[in-house]
A and B are shown apart, each in its own frame.
Chain A
Amino acid sequence: MNDRSPITEDELHAYIDGELPADRIAALEAWLASHPEDMAKIAAWRAQIDAIRARYGAVAEEPVPPRFDLEQLAFPDRSWKRIAAAAVVAAFVFGSAGGWFAHSGFDHMTGVSPNGFEAFTSDAVEAYRLYVVEVRHPVEVPAADAEHLVQWLSKRVGYQLSAPDLEKVGLKLVGGRLLPGPTGAAAFFMYENASGERYTLYSGRSNTPATALRYADNGPAKAVYWVNNDIAYVISGQGDRNAVHNVAVAAYDQLEKLPQKSGG
């Protein structure tokens, strides 16, 4: 590297963070001697570092509270509440932590002030990823109790749901569950085809205007989203884009024939 090249701001940061290559340190220090404005920056940044460490450094010296006992956390007692809480936590984190393994692009969404589309598709796809791999308990209420399932979920989301019949695209209802969604309760229906591929329908109230079908590609998981009468729907699946689209169209055709009540 050319020792005489000007020092960049990135190098100033690298210098105080101990990341500057050794062969640039002398050049940088010489530069600082003749560039007081950069010297001042470094002094200010060092003061920030000191303040942050002074404020939070001691937290790591505190004794670790018993709640962090790993044996306990690995095998929690089987009480209802804890399992439910763990499921909620898992539902929230699965998409993102899964990305660590799958290297999908999904966890790169910033999502801090999401629009309805992002919030719904990200929650729906997270739920899809979480439950689609579940062999023994993919749903809370199985399709055998479909009538009860639809009534229960409709009551909780506050509008009349239906679990569309997707036999014509080769899918049978597996069942459904209630989930936390971007705007409150969300309903989640799972479908499966003969070869075991699963698709899910996720629905919740939305405050965004009606949309046509919109497509979201979150790595291996694909999603199609739409809003009608303040209700958002997301179909998620793992097939190719056309397969997911066909399922969405089949569901859309049936759901939009429903008499909608916005009052709930």
Chain B
Amino acid sequence: MSGFRKSIQASIPALRRYARSLTRDAEIADDLVQDTLVRALRSEHLFEGEETRSWLYTILTNLNRNRLRTLARRPTLAPLGDNDAADMAGPESGSRDIERALASLVPEQRAVLLLVVLEGLSYREIAEVQGVPIGTVMSRLARARAQIKSFLDGERPALRRIK
């Protein structure tokens, strides 16, 4: 296997993790990863960089943006504010909270936060992935963190234990 293929192979687990967190849907996430890999393999001859990692994240991020753009054309809204009691209770409730908090972010902010905290990309790498100046990455990150905090703070009264 070529060095190029090996480096792509090695990125698959992390790409699946990023896609899962980005879409919050295992099916859609793996479809995105597969499309990303196909796209990368077809561009093997165009690839001149030294490392494939940021490049793969870039492809996946763009594919996801296109997916959202297609979805945005159809007036279907994800049930963000569902109050399913089964979802709110039990040991899973903490992870449901963070899922819903992430879902409340605009896609660019969500991507920045996940690339930083989950994928460990540097601010500079993320600026390249998103094709924006580093200052924009910083402001997206700051907004993402502020929004998640206020989302979780707002959720908490419903879940607060009575002392």
Question: Is A30 among interface residues, defined by CB-CB distance under 8 A?
Answer: no
CA distance A82 to B97 in the complex (A): 38
B148 A111 Cβ-Cβ under 8 A: no
Number of interface residues of B (CB under 8 A): 61
B142 A100 Cβ-Cβ under 8 A: no
Question: Is B99 among interface residues, defined by CB-CB distance under 8 A?
Answer: yes
Chain A residue nearest to B148 in the complex (CB): A48
A89 B35 Cβ-Cβ under 8 A: yes
Question: Is A165 among interface residues, defined by CB-CB distance under 8 A?
Answer: no
The binding surface of chain A is classed by DSSP as helix
Chain A residue nearest to B97 in the complex (CB): A51
CA distance A107 to B66 in the complex (A): 10
A-B pair count, CB < 8 Å, reads 148
Question: Is B73 among interface residues, defined by CB-CB distance under 8 A?
Answer: yes
The binding surface of chain B is classed by DSSP as helix
When distances are taken between beta carbons in the complex, the residues of chain B under 8 Å from A89 are 35, 38-39, 63
CA distance A182 to B16 in the complex (A): 28
A64 B13 Cβ-Cβ under 8 A: yes
When distances are taken between beta carbons in the complex, the residues of chain B under 8 Å from A122 are 69
Question: Is A26 among interface residues, defined by CB-CB distance under 8 A?
Answer: no
When distances are taken between beta carbons in the complex, the residues of chain A under 8 Å from B123 are 14, 17, 19
Min CB–CB distance A13 → chain B (angstroms): 6
B72 A114 Cβ-Cβ under 8 A: yes
Chain B residue nearest to A76 in the complex (CB): B38
B95 A51 Cβ-Cβ under 8 A: yes
Q: Which of A9, A73, A96, A105 contacts B65 (CB 8 A)?
A: A96
Q: List 17 A-B contacts (CB under 8 A).
A: A10-B142, A13-B141, A17-B123, A48-B117, A51-B95, A53-B118, A59-B13, A59-B16, A59-B17, A62-B16, A64-B12, A70-B41, A92-B70, A93-B39, A97-B59, A112-B69, A114-B69
Name B's A-contacting residues (CB within 8 A): 1, 5, 8-9, 12-14, 16-17, 20-21, 30, 33-35, 37-39, 41-43, 46, 55, 58-59, 62-63, 65-70, 72-73, 94-95, 97-99, 101-102, 106-108, 113-114, 116-118, 122-123, 131-132, 138, 141-142, 145, 148-149, 152
